[in-house]
Chains A and B, each alone.
Chain A
Amino acid sequence: MAEKNSKYLSYMREERLPHIFCPGCSNGSVMSAFLEAMEKAEMDFDNIAMVSGIGCSSRIPGYIKCDSLHTTHGRALTFATGLKIANKGLDVVVFSGDGDAASIGGNHLIHAARRNLDLTVICINNNIYGMTGGQVSPTSPKGIVATTAPYGNYDTPFNLAEVVAAAGASYSARWTITEMENLVLSIKAALKTPGFSFVEVVSLCPTYFGRKNKLRTPTAMAAVMRANTVFKSAADRMSEKELKDKIVVGEFANKHRDELSDVLEKFSVENSGDKTVVNSAYETEF
Chain B
Amino acid sequence: MAEEFFIQGNEACAKGAIAAGCRFFAGYPITPSTEIAETLAKDLPKVGGSFVQMEDEIASMGAIIGASWGGTKAMTATSGPGLSLMQENIGYAFMTETPLVIVDVQRGSPSTAQPTMGAQGDMMQARWGSHGDYEPIALSPSSVEEFFYFTIKAFNLAEEYRVPVFLMTDETMGHMREKMHIDESKINIVPRKRPELTDDYLPYKYVEDGTTPMPAFGDGFNIHVTGLTHDERGYPDTNDPDAHDRLVQRLCNKVLNNRDKISSVFSQFCDDADTIIISYGSPTRAVIEAVLKIRKEGKKVGYIKIDTPWPFPEKQILELTEGAKHVIVVEMNLGQMYYEVDRLLKLQTRVHFMGKIGGLLPTPDEIISGIKRAEGE
| Interface positions of A (Cβ within 8 A of B) | 13, 15-16, 46-47, 49, 51, 61-62, 65-72, 75, 77-87, 89-90, 107-108, 111, 264, 267-268, 270-272, 274-286
**Contact code string B188-226 (vs A, CB < 8 Å = 1, else 0):** 010111100000000000000000000011111111111
A82 to B25, CA, bound (A): 9
> Which single residue of chain A is at the shortest CB-CB distance from B193?
A282
Q: Given A84-B70, A286-B47, list of 6 further CB < 8 A pairs?
A: A81-B63, A108-B62, A111-B55, A111-B59, A270-B45, A280-B48
Minimum Cβ distance to chain B for residue A225 (Å): 31
> Is B79 in the interface zone, CB < 8 Å from A?
no
> Which single residue of chain B is at the shortest CB-CB distance from A274?
B48
A283 to B236, CA, bound (A): 31
Q: Which of B20, B47, B63, B99 has the most CB of A within 10 A?
A: B63
| A contact residues around B220 at 8 Å (CB) | 46
Minimum Cβ distance to chain B for residue A98 (Å): 19
Jot down 13 A-B pairs with beta carbons below 8 A, ordered by A: A71-B62, A75-B62, A78-B58, A78-B63, A83-B217, A84-B66, A86-B24, A111-B54, A267-B45, A272-B45, A278-B70, A280-B71, A285-B189
> Is B69 in the interface zone, CB < 8 Å from A?
yes
> Which single residue of chain B is at the shortest CB-CB distance from A46?
B220
Whether the pair B48, A268 counts as a contact (CB closer than 8 A) is yes
Whether the pair A264, B72 counts as a contact (CB closer than 8 A) is no
Known contacts A62-B235, A277-B49, A286-B47: A82-B159 contact under CB 8 Å? no
Whether the pair B222, A65 counts as a contact (CB closer than 8 A) is yes
Minimum Cβ distance to chain A for residue B224 (Å): 5
> Which single residue of chain A is at the shortest CB-CB distance from B221?
A67
Whether the pair A79, B62 counts as a contact (CB closer than 8 A) is yes
**Contact code string B31-51 (vs A, CB < 8 Å = 1, else 0):** 000000000000001111110
Minimum Cβ distance to chain B for residue A260 (Å): 8
A284 to B152, CA, bound (A): 12
Known contacts A67-B218, A71-B227, A277-B48: A82-B55 contact under CB 8 Å? no
| A contact residues around B235 at 8 Å (CB) | 13, 15-16, 62
Known contacts A69-B66, A286-B18: A75-B222 contact under CB 8 Å? no
A118 to B217, CA, bound (A): 17
Known contacts A72-B227, A283-B21: A81-B52 contact under CB 8 Å? yes
A108 to B55, CA, bound (A): 7
Q: Which of B26, B159, B192, B217 has the most CB of A within 10 A?
A: B217
Whether the pair A281, B71 counts as a contact (CB closer than 8 A) is yes
Whether the pair B46, A271 counts as a contact (CB closer than 8 A) is yes
**What is the interface of chain B mostly: helix, strand, loop, or mixed?**
mixed
Number of inter-chain CB pairs below 8 Å: 197
Whether the pair B92, A72 counts as a contact (CB closer than 8 A) is yes
Whether the pair A86, B66 counts as a contact (CB closer than 8 A) is yes
A267 to B44, CA, bound (A): 10
> Is B360 in the interface zone, CB < 8 Å from A?
no
Q: Point out the residue from B19, B73, B221, B236 that lies within 8 Å of A280, measured CB to CB.
A: B73
A242 to B192, CA, bound (A): 60
Whether the pair B59, A81 counts as a contact (CB closer than 8 A) is yes
> Which single residue of chain B is at the shortest CB-CB distance from A65?
B222
Minimum Cβ distance to chain B for residue A27 (Å): 16
Whether the pair B48, A275 counts as a contact (CB closer than 8 A) is yes
| B contact residues around A107 at 8 Å (CB) | 55-56, 59
A178 to B61, CA, bound (A): 38
A71 to B72, CA, bound (A): 18
Q: Which of B45, B62, B63 has the most CB of A within 10 A?
A: B62
Whether the pair A86, B47 counts as a contact (CB closer than 8 A) is no
> Which single residue of chain B is at the shortest CB-CB distance from A260?
B52
> Is B64 in the interface zone, CB < 8 Å from A?
yes
Whether the pair B23, A277 counts as a contact (CB closer than 8 A) is yes
Minimum Cβ distance to chain B for residue A133 (Å): 16
Whether the pair A67, B222 counts as a contact (CB closer than 8 A) is yes
Q: Which of A49, A86, A108 has the most CB of B within 10 A?
A: A86
Minimum Cβ distance to chain A for residue B217 (Å): 4
Whether the pair B20, A286 counts as a contact (CB closer than 8 A) is yes
A67 to B223, CA, bound (A): 5
| B contact residues around A77 at 8 Å (CB) | 62
**Contact code string B155-198 (vs A, CB < 8 Å = 1, else 0):** 00001000000000000000000000000000001011110000
A188 to B23, CA, bound (A): 32
Q: Point out the residue from A47, A61, A78, A286 that lies within 8 Å of B218, measured CB to CB.
A: A47
Whether the pair A86, B70 counts as a contact (CB closer than 8 A) is yes
| B contact residues around A83 at 8 Å (CB) | 66-67, 69-70, 217
Known contacts A87-B70, A87-B71, A281-B216: A79-B63 contact under CB 8 Å? yes
> Is B274 in the interface zone, CB < 8 Å from A?
no
